[in-house]
Amino acid sequence: MANSIKLFRIIFSFFFLQQLVISNGQNNVIKGGYWLRDSGLALNNIDSTLFTHLFCAFADLNSQSNQLIIKPEDQDSFRQFTSTVQRKNPSVKTLLSIAGGRADKTAYGVMARTPNSRKSFIDSSIRLARQLGFHGLDLDWEYPESATDMTNFGILLNEWRSAINTEGEIRKARARSCFSQAAVSYSPRVNSLTYPVQSMARNFDWINLMAYDFYAPNWSPSQTNSNAQLFDPVNHVSGSDGITAWIQAGIPTRKLVLGIPFYGYAWQLVNANIHGLRAPASGKSSVGSNDGGSMTYSQIKDYIVQSRATTVYNATIVGYYCYSRNTWISYDDTQSVRNKVTYVKGRGLLGYYAWHIAQDQNWVLSRTASQTWGASS
Ligand SMILES: *[C@@H]1O[C@H](CO)[C@@H](O)[C@H](O)[C@H]1NC(C)=O
């Protein structure tokens, strides 16, 4: 099993989504997308008709008070988020996302340690989500760091779910609107630690699987590879392998939501004439201006035109790459998005989500995904 431990460490970050949906409480499909305040995409410009659920990222934990807070510079847009995206799509549901890859993971472990600090966090999260008009909460704690963290995490989820149910009952009585919670996301193992799978299956409405970052120049500097392949006959590091592992660990298929990256990674090839998957590389390419050689889908499409890169769609893995001179880029495009969405629908998953929507170009990938799934309902 050493392999699978490694696999999970590489593969997933885990979003824990706890959603409070005011509606008939049914989630028949998740067509999700994350929005980041500083991503350059203005709230008014979000085409919310292409989504059923939008995640507003990120709120964070105040490690002194153990309360959920929103940075001052985010407050205005977070407050306007739900009403703005509902203008174009009145039925879209919104979730306030918590933590994220840059948050202080240790602070979450400290918060989860005692009943009092958990209660501060839970109560403040529900209050804040309500005040700002969100329908749900989404926790992206990357990652619990010890077996104790994992145990406490399971307890936190039990208490969180129970607080949400209680709050929902109060509201229901008051407003006569039905209030149910949906969703979470996570993975069974990370850093050799096992997630509290039973607690997660019981308490979360769904789980967002981060089925990307399998390979990137920072952790695979000497070899190119696909960052988000759906299938991997060679090493079994792929979206479908992750889905299978989660189902085997005990998460119901209908609680799984597959993440699709709207970005890719650019490597520097050692030899411009050797440009396949697993070609010799020397770290990230300077073309990828962002951290770790990542490029948005939009930047990649522009790069392909400008540099006349050769593009390859590999149907075996369901992934694209392109190359030009010594630059090699792994990414997703319309055909891989179409095939991923068809796959998750066919396998009976609840849906998909995009990380993140500002990286799209003219909504091409968002629209492809939504149309492939078909009319939601
Ligand atoms: C497609 O992917 C498979 C599996 O990794 C690999 O064996 C094959 O060489 C790839 N083909 C191309 C053209 O990249």
Average pLDDT, the chain: 85
Ligand 1 centre distance from Cα of residue 316 (Å) = 7
Measured on CA atoms in the order 295, 300, 306, 310, is the torsion positive or negative? positive
Pocket residues for ligand 1 (CB within 6 Å)? 233-234, 276-277, 312, 314, 316-317
% of the chain with per-residue pLDDT over 90: 62
Question: Which atom of ligand 1 is nearest to 278's Cα?
Answer: 5
Instruction: Report helix angle 2-11 to 239-249, nearest 10.
Output: 110
Q: How far apart are CA 131 and CA 71, in angstroms?
A: 15
Q: How far apart are CA 306 and CA 324, in angstroms?
A: 10
Catalytic residue of the set 73, 142, 145, 169: 142
Residue nearest ligand 1's atom 1 by CA:
314
Report the SS3 class of residue 347: coil
Ligand 1 centre distance from Cα of residue 327 (Å) = 18
pLDDT per residue over 229-266, tens digit each?
999 999 888 999 889 988 988 889 998 999 999 999 99
Catalytic residue check, 145: no
* Angle, CA of 288, 266 and 311, to the nearest 5°: 120
pLDDT at 21 over 80: no
Q: How confident is the model at residue 195 (pLDDT cuts 50, 70, 90)?
A: confident
User: What does the pLDDT read at residue 38?
Assistant: 92
Report the SS3 class of residue 98: strand
Q: What is the mean pLDDT of residues 353-368?
A: 97
Question: Which atom of ligand 1 is nearest to 234's Cα?
Answer: 5
Which of the listed residues 314, 336, 339 should we mutate to test ligand 1's pocket, taking the one with most ligand atoms within 8 A of CB? 314
Residue nearest ligand 1's atom 9 by CA:
277
Q: How far apart are CA 140 and CA 148, in angstroms?
A: 18
Q: What is the mean pLDDT of residues 171-180?
A: 36
20-to-120, 139, 248, 272 alpha-carbon distances in Å: 18, 13, 27, 51
Q: How confident is the model at residue 202 (pLDDT cuts 50, 70, 90)?
A: confident
Answer yes or no: are the C-beta atoms of 260 and 332 closer than 8 Å: yes
